[in-house]
Amino acid sequence: DRGAPKQASDRQPDAIVLGILIFHLRNRRRICLAHMTLAKKGEAMVKKVKLGDASVTAVAYGCMGLSQAYEPCDEARGIKTLNAVLDMGYDHLDTAALYGFGKNEELLNKAIGHRRSEYFLASKCGLYRDASGKREINGRPEVLTKTCEDSLRRLGTDCIDLYYLHRIDLNV
């Protein structure tokens, strides 16, 4: 059928970048040269494993690079990426309250919150950056409870399937 051409926003990506970057040092600057394409749309991703009562892809899609580090992308690309990840068969996503100071969790909610039944949600806690950027480990129960409540709100869900510590707080 040679009907009207599809709008760019209607097209699904043929391939997806899965967060691997190649960097080149030139004049002491870090420049992103390329994203490696690791999988084509519709291809089987990885084997499934049992995690509690759930059967999920053995390798989670790590969401950190969407909103922090590794040349973060804009919101529109993040939304397309997350939907493409689910469309390709990934059903295990990993985020953290730390990533983008909560912006990563908000992006997940906006992009795929309406598809919540399609993925196993893992999130981390206990590692923070203060206003000066200094990293702090805090595993006190009251802090973890507050962080979890904030994460649930940002993620727009009532359940985080796997909630675990970024780092062990040896003072707790």
Handedness of CA 125, 129, 135, 138 (dihedral sign): negative
Cα 171 to chain centroid distance, Å, stands at 29
Annotated active-site residue in 61, 70, 90, 99: 99
Q: Give the length of the chain.
A: 172
* Residue 99 annotated among the catalytic residues of the structure: yes
Say which residues have a Cβ less than 8 Å from residue 91's Cβ, sequence separation at least 6: 56, 57, 118, 119, 120
Q: How far apart are CA 31 and CA 23, in angstroms?
A: 6
* C-alpha dist (Å) from residue 160 to 22, 75, 98, 132, 164: 32, 22, 15, 29, 10
Cβ pair 105, 112 in contact under 8 A:
no
Active site residues: 99
